[in-house]
Amino acid sequence: MNQFQYTRPLETAGAVKATAKDPAAHFLAGGTNLIDLMKMGVVVPEKLVDINLLPLKKIERTADGLRIGALVTNTAVATDPLVMKNFPLLSRAINAGASPQLRNVATVGGNMMQRTRCPYFFDTMMPCNKRKPGSGCGALQGFNRMHAIFGASENCIAVNPSDMNVALTALDALVHISGPKGPRTIKFADFHRLPGDQPELDNNLQKGELITAVELKASPFTKNTDYLKVRDRSSYAFALVSAAVALHMEGNTIAGAALAMGGVAHKPWRLKPVETFLKGKTASDAVFKQAASIAMEGAKAFEYNKFKLKLAPNTLIQALKTAAGIAS
Amino acid sequence: MQQVMPRKKTPTSADESNQFTETRRDFLKQSSLLTAIALTPASVIKAADEKWDQKFAGIFEKVSLHLEVNGTKHDFLLDPRVTLLDLLREELHLTGTKKGCDRGQCGACTVHVNGMRVNSCLSLAVTNEGKKITTIEGLANGKTLHPMQEAFIKHDGFQCGYCTSGQIMSAVACIKEGHAGSEDEIREFMSGNICRCGAYPNIVNAIKEVKEGGLS
């Protein structure tokens, strides 16, 4: 691991100042991803700004929902009674990721900042436009079994590895950010980005900006939810494909749907056209099959991930059936 | 081992026999320190002046750390790159905690920090200021083994034993968290601890027995 300056600010403003003018400075929260990347030489920060003493560790009720501080651990979010009652999809998604040891340390903000698990990104001997812009994409013609089927570019076909992000996208969360130019709030769906010709950028944060909280507005999606994650072993593995499904059911009728998929794109993949299609429909196998075919429009596979073209719609159908209560 | 310097270290004969190496190392350290000062950017000096930080350390500078490990308080001055795992093993010689993958994938390094199980390999030691650490060495009460240790022996919850300290630390936390309600739940919440010998069924049996109040 490279040597670095280490600083531990007490105030958010201090943390922002400590990184804003320092191009190779990194925030350090739980460290479960960053320390690993530093050991591998994938990320080489000249300065670590340890933000663990910042006052961002509370889950608070707002007038119409919840505000979750960026430093709340994944375990604390997943086991919070208000989250479990009002946003069960989020709790389920978090518990589907990593291991209890990692969730005890990993934070909400850190989970959002998690880098891809593409093996070409991790291997510093391989080309990777995300790690080293302009060096090429090793996965494009390489071993691309885990890779994207939506929104990829010729520069990068990596996927976002987070489960939490998929649920927060479906639930229309808001992201509160502090930065050198003051605070701002953006939609969760606008936080992560597609690779395009700048795959080195995972998200739309500007230099020196720090995530301070995630906010969730009360929604009718409290009962009929499912997070279905398909992976190579039954636990503690990254998703091949996952589906976050929250339905607002009135009897058998779908009054509203919130849907996103994981393991399929560079960002959590929101399924807006499918949500529109499902509104007002009666839950049935046939309707959900149609929904899945809409979801798969525009999908494109590479040599080793063609199985995702079948796995993704099947995963979505199964999660929809479970959420609607018609799974056999 | 990375650079760890305990305070008030008493010289030993081993140190003396290494005199030449140490001298050379000291020279390297001093010259590096001068370079580091010369390279310190103005923004860093400004940060220190304005007192934004509770802690600040330039490159090559050591950071103070206070920890309570298995009930004993320790003070350290250490390179901020040192992980909690390396500190426990290399400095405190608590080698019961194992280094498996060193990447948070195997769970062999599991310890309790303020009562929560964590992967000590992915935690920089300096980020644990003031915390209470429990390792496998701190689990037994004198010569009386912890019920989970007894249960692992009774149920043959290991073969080679390399993952065992991590498994036991994780298993104790698993019950405390309330995640040992069924075999499926135990398997799910023990999935962060890999056992290459495949002692999983026996590990599950050991946890079940302790959960049900046996061997306590």
Q: Which two tokens stand for residue B70?
A: 């298995």
Both B132 and B198 in one domain: the answer is: no
At residue B170, the 3 state secondary structure works out as helix
H-helix or E-strand containing A269? strand A269-270
Which chain B residue has the Cα nearest residue A1? B81
Cβ atoms of residues A268 and A112 within 8 Å = no
- Residue B85 forms part of a structural domain: yes
Using a 10 angstrom Cβ sphere, with 0-12 exposed, 13-18 middle and 19 or more buried, the burial of residue B110 is buried
Q: Answer whether A104 sits within 8 Å of B55, measured CB to CB.
A: no
What's the domain count of chain B?
2
H, E, C per residue of B104-123: CCCCCCEEEECCEEEEHHHC
Q: How far apart, in Å, are the Cα atoms of A78 and each of A72, A93, A127, B184? A: 10, 8, 37, 19
At residue A225, the 3 state secondary structure works out as strand
d(CA B39, CA B61): 13
Of residues A28, A47, A101, nearest to B110 (C-beta): A101
Give the minimum alpha-carbon distance from A128 to chain B in angstroms, rounded to a whole number: 21
Q: B109, B137, B165: which is the final residue of a domain? A: B137
The CA-CA-CA angle for residues A295, A299, A301, to 5°, reads: 140
Q: Answer whether A105 sits within 8 Å of B118, measured CB to CB.
A: yes
Q: B82, B116, B137: which is the final residue of a domain? A: B137
Both B90 and B194 in one domain: the answer is: no
Both B170 and B190 in one domain: the answer is: yes
d(CA A45, CA A31): 13
Of residues B63, B174, B191, nearest to A236 (C-beta): B191
What are the residues facing A216 on neighbouring strands? A66
**CATH code at position B70:** 3.10.20.30
Cβ atoms of residues A118 and A146 within 8 Å = yes
Give the sign of the dihedral formed by CA A84, CA A202, CA A42, CA B44. Answer: negative
- Residue B118 forms part of a structural domain: yes
The interface residues of chain A toward chain B in range 9-38, judged by CB-CB distance below 8 A, are: 9-11, 13-15, 17-18, 21-22, 28, 31-32, 35-36
Both B152 and B111 in one domain: the answer is: no
Q: Answer whether B174 sits within 8 Å of A35, measured CB to CB.
A: no
Candidates A11, A20, A7; CA nearest to A179 is: A20
Both B106 and B198 in one domain: the answer is: no
Q: Is A207 on the interface with B (CB under 8 A)?
A: no
Query: Among A5, A95, A115, which would you mutate to test the B interface (most chain B Cβ atoms within 10 Å of its Cβ)?
Result: A5
Q: For residue B131, give the DSSP letter.
A: -
Both B4 and B111 in one domain: the answer is: yes
Q: pLDDT at position A83, please?
A: 98
Q: Answer whether A14 sits within 8 Å of B47, measured CB to CB.
A: yes
- Residue B192 forms part of a structural domain: yes
Q: B137, B157, B187: which is the final residue of a domain? A: B137
DSSP secondary structure of B74-111: EEEEE-TT-BHHHIIIIIS--TTS--SSSSSSS-TTEE
Which chain A residue has the Cα nearest residue B118? A101
**Residue written as tokens 């135990």?**
B186
Q: Answer whether B191 sits within 8 Å of A1, measured CB to CB.
A: no
Q: Answer whether B52 sits within 8 Å of A4, measured CB to CB.
A: no
Q: Answer whether B57 sits within 8 Å of A236, measured CB to CB.
A: no
Candidates B70, B215, B72; CA nearest to B144 is: B215
Give the minimum alpha-carbon distance from A177 to chain B in angstroms, rounded to a whole number: 19
Quick one: pLDDT band at residue B20, thresholds 50, 70, 90? very low
Domain A224-324: CATH class, spelled out = alpha beta
- Residue B42 forms part of a structural domain: no
B200-211 vs B147-154: helix crossing angle, rounded to 10: 140
Both B154 and B188 in one domain: the answer is: yes
The CA-CA-CA angle for residues A230, A327, A250, to 5°, reads: 115
Flag the least confident range among A300-304, B36-40, B183-187: B36-40
pLDDT digits (tens, 9 = 90+) for B72-112: 999 999 999 999 999 999 999 999 999 999 999 999 999 99
d(CA B130, CA B81): 18
Boundaries of every domain in chain A: 5-52, 224-324
Candidates A172, A167, A199, A202; CA nearest to A187 is: A172
Q: Which two tokens stand for residue A183?
A: 């605070």
pLDDT digits (tens, 9 = 90+) for A57-82: 999 999 999 999 999 999 999 999 99
Both B83 and B112 in one domain: the answer is: yes
A285-295 vs A308-324: helix crossing angle, rounded to 10: 140
**Residue written as tokens 């009054």?**
A255
Instruction: Report, as an integer, the average pLDDT of B191-206.
Output: 98
Q: What is the pLDDT along chain A (328 residues), one digit of tens a residue?
A: 999 999 999 999 999 988 988 888 999 999 999 999 999 999 999 999 999 999 999 999 999 999 999 999 999 999 999 999 999 999 999 999 999 999 999 999 999 999 999 999 999 999 999 999 999 999 999 999 999 999 999 999 999 999 999 999 999 999 999 999 999 999 999 999 999 999 999 999 999 999 999 999 999 999 999 999 999 999 999 999 999 999 999 999 999 999 999 999 999 999 999 999 999 999 999 999 999 999 999 999 999 999 999 999 999 999 999 999 999 7
- At B36, give phi and psi (nearest 5°): -60, -40
d(CA A271, CA A34): 30
Q: Answer whether A7 sits within 8 Å of B191, measured CB to CB.
A: no
Both B92 and B162 in one domain: the answer is: no
Give the ipTM: 0.96
Chain A residues whose CB is inside 8 A of the B189 CB are: 100
Query: Among A2, A3, A11, which would you mutate to test the B interface (most chain B Cβ atoms within 10 Å of its Cβ)?
Result: A3
Give the domain range for residue B121. 1-11+62-137
Q: What is the CATH number of domain A5-52?
A: 3.30.43.10
d(CA B119, CA A7): 23
The residue type at B106: C
Q: Answer whether B47 sits within 8 Å of A7, measured CB to CB.
A: yes
The residue type at A70: A
Q: How far apart are the first and last CA of chain B?
A: 38
Q: Is A44 on the interface with B (CB under 8 A)?
A: no
Both B157 and B106 in one domain: the answer is: no
- At B69, give phi and psi (nearest 5°): -115, 120
Chain B residues whose CB is inside 8 A of the A32 CB are: 104, 119, 122
